[in-house]
Structure 1
């Protein structure tokens, strides 16, 4: 993207429609590849605690004085993209029913399959009898709470109890509930007529102040980052989209790793850099993910696959052995999830609704 390229033309490029019949397209943006890399970063990051336990420190944790680690930054990237695209979706098509259906069709089908398959796989390796396992309170709560997105349950009875990280069957699911609640927040602001520049800035500022002065809450940080992405979209026609500014933003973030301000700065500066990279046509890698968006499947299947690897490797498990052994399996599962679950749901939703975000298959994680 040229430094003098108009923001409006950039946004038009960022929202180009792909081939609705096959979803195998080459859009001129980098949203899918950024999500793919973020999902991969989560997998790399999770390999450390899954292999060694929760007390192990990852390299970036040491470097940043415990501010963050690779997986946490990846989640912030997801939320910045999500804030941008979800706000774009509602603003462009402010129909509450269509908006809600689009969100449900995109996130719920894949979640149903991973939850059901998790419970079934758990039944094969649990120390409980089949009857005790399936009717156990934890199994019921794991299924209902995770599927309803009202919260997160991590454990299945008698499963992974001796693994270093403990009996956490799928630690990645924690971010889905707050993300879906933010979808509802956008819907609510849209319905009451307050999905505008100044309301979104006010919510962002409140979340940042809460994080800085009341409690370093992960929920507040996710809210601020999501709203940072929303701010970028709502102010896109007044933002200077320059490569030099994006590079300066990344440099400031790198320097802030040695201070205590990285997370707060990421909510807006990181959001700008993320969206710049996503919409930039100067360097476009859309061809990498032209045949499908694997990021969601990678994200939701990676943790249980890595836990299974540790279960069978035992004391021989290292972060790199867990990563290298699990990654091919994760990619295969993600491919099946995209082609036979997510894409099927998207196609069905397109017969029911008309949503530019879904038609271009630009999904938030």
Structure 2
């Protein structure tokens, strides 16, 4: 176990690593501590970089390999974000159940995503912006800094003006928009828990009711709210039916883990259903939702795989997600748009992995340790 403190509990093995409490579940798996969540998340973050390598060069995802395979139903970026939300639902629900209080849970969630988000936003303002400004001497005076600061404190993606001339997409950041959606899922989960909906007796009826509400919102659609105070406080509802089902299905997988069999046949059948939906051009979203989440958890809980650098576990996924886009934009800008999508992808990975290591080492892990100590 690498020398980490271990405390056995019912249906779980709880670990404390690098100041962050995690748990490993059996989901009716073999009762050991094998998991590969860090590797799976890093693969998903890398797929986001791959999709953006096509989008940032061509300003379209039409040639993204998964878009081609799925007949335009889904690209690698969407695929990865959906499964990120599912993993987050699974892991964060465990964090809620293991937290001493709702306040402790929220504090740990803030520590996990907010510092990295703020620093990445500042990198876009203070590094990517000046380095690619149309007029460097007037760059700082031309920005609406008050608006930028208010938006970033509300976990909104911000972009500076007058940058990246010559790039097809003139955004210093393009991935941060999902962060507020994820944080809103955390708030909803905490609210549901505080109301008692996550208690064992209430779970079946609650998740059936939640599923019905989500299905109705998918059918009818939700409005866009992107301006005013409400637009700052919440993520825009029109994307809730797209993203929230994955988070709360992952949450349900955790809470009903003792009833879900681990079956290689079910995993293979699910993967076959996903491939069939891609090839046929019909139903990719729902195939990924109902079959892909199971297959993802099956894989993540079937083998061991920490990422270790200098004898210490590191989690690079969030940093790759945060810095892949701005690194790609800089590479395109300074190459004069002479990089092919695959060349851009390989170069971006080479730079974004070290940036992710720095983010984890100097920002994410210290904040997690502080939050964990205060929650004890």
> Please, what TM-score do these two structures have when normalized by structure 2?
0.82
Partner Cα separation in structure 2 for residue 123 and residue 287 of structure 1: 34
- 8 A Cα contact 1:17 1:27, kept in partner: no
Give the alignment partner of residue 263 of structure 2, picking from 218, 233, 242: 242
Partner Cα separation in structure 2 for residue 66 and residue 12 of structure 1: 40
Q: Indicate yes or no: 2:246 matched with 1:203.
A: no
Give the alignment partner of residue 116 of structure 1, picking from 112, 122, 126: 122
Give the alignment partner of residue 241 of structure 2, picking from 208, 213, 220: 220
Partner Cα separation in structure 2 for residue 78 and residue 348 of structure 1: 25
> Please, what TM-score do these two structures have when normalized by structure 1?
0.84
- 8 A Cα contact 1:145 1:152, kept in partner: yes
Alignment-derived partner of residue 134 in structure 2? 127
CA separation of 1:306/1:140 partners in 2, compared to 1, >3 Å: closer, same or farther? farther
CA separation of 1:95/1:178 partners in 2, compared to 1, >3 Å: closer, same or farther? same
Equivalent positions of 1:164-175 (< 5 A) are 164=168, 166-175=169-178
Q: 1:200-220: per-residue Cα shift (whole Å, max 9, x none)?
A: 332233323432564795431
Alignment-derived partner of residue 373 in structure 2? 351
- Give 3-state SS (helix, strand or coil) of 2:162's partner: coil
- 8 A Cα contact 2:274 2:284, kept in partner: yes
Give the alignment partner of residue 49 of structure 1, picking from 51, 55, 61: 55
Equivalent positions of 1:1-365 (< 5 A) are 12-13=12-13, 15-18=14-17, 20=19, 28-54=34-60, 56-93=62-99, 95-121=101-127, 122-130=129-137, 133-134=140-141, 136-137=143-144, 139-149=145-155, 151-153=156-158, 155-164=159-168, 166-195=169-198, 196-212=203-219, 214=221, 218-257=239-278, 258-280=280-302, 283-286=303-306, 291-354=313-376
- 8 A Cα contact 1:87 1:233, kept in partner: yes
- Give 3-state SS (helix, strand or coil) of 2:172's partner: coil
CA separation of 1:168/1:27 partners in 2, compared to 1, >3 Å: closer, same or farther? farther
Q: CA RMSD in A?
A: 2.7
- Give 3-state SS (helix, strand or coil) of 1:61's partner: helix
Q: 1:228-276: per-residue Cα shift (whole Å, max 9, x none)?
A: 1011111111111212211211111111222432212322322211122
CA separation of 1:18/1:129 partners in 2, compared to 1, >3 Å: closer, same or farther? closer
Q: 1:144-171: per-residue Cα shift (whole Å, max 9, x none)?
A: 313322x333x3111113201x211111
Larger strand share, 1 or 2 = 2
Deviating more after overlay: 113-122 vs 193-202 = 193-202
- 8 A Cα contact 1:45 1:69, kept in partner: yes
Matched residues, number: 337
Larger helix share, 1 or 2 = 1
Q: 1:30-70: per-residue Cα shift (whole Å, max 9, x none)?
A: 11111010011111111001112236431221221221011
Q: Which runs of 5+ in 2 are unaligned?
A: 1-7, 23-31, 223-236
- 8 A Cα contact 1:96 1:191, kept in partner: yes
CA separation of 1:184/1:146 partners in 2, compared to 1, >3 Å: closer, same or farther? same
Partner Cα separation in structure 2 for residue 316 and residue 172 of structure 1: 23
* Larger RCO (CA within 8 A; separation ≥ 6): 1
- 8 A Cα contact 2:271 2:292, kept in partner: yes
Q: 1:269-304: per-residue Cα shift (whole Å, max 9, x none)?
A: 222111222222xx3223568620000000000100
Partner Cα separation in structure 2 for residue 147 and residue 11 of structure 1: 38
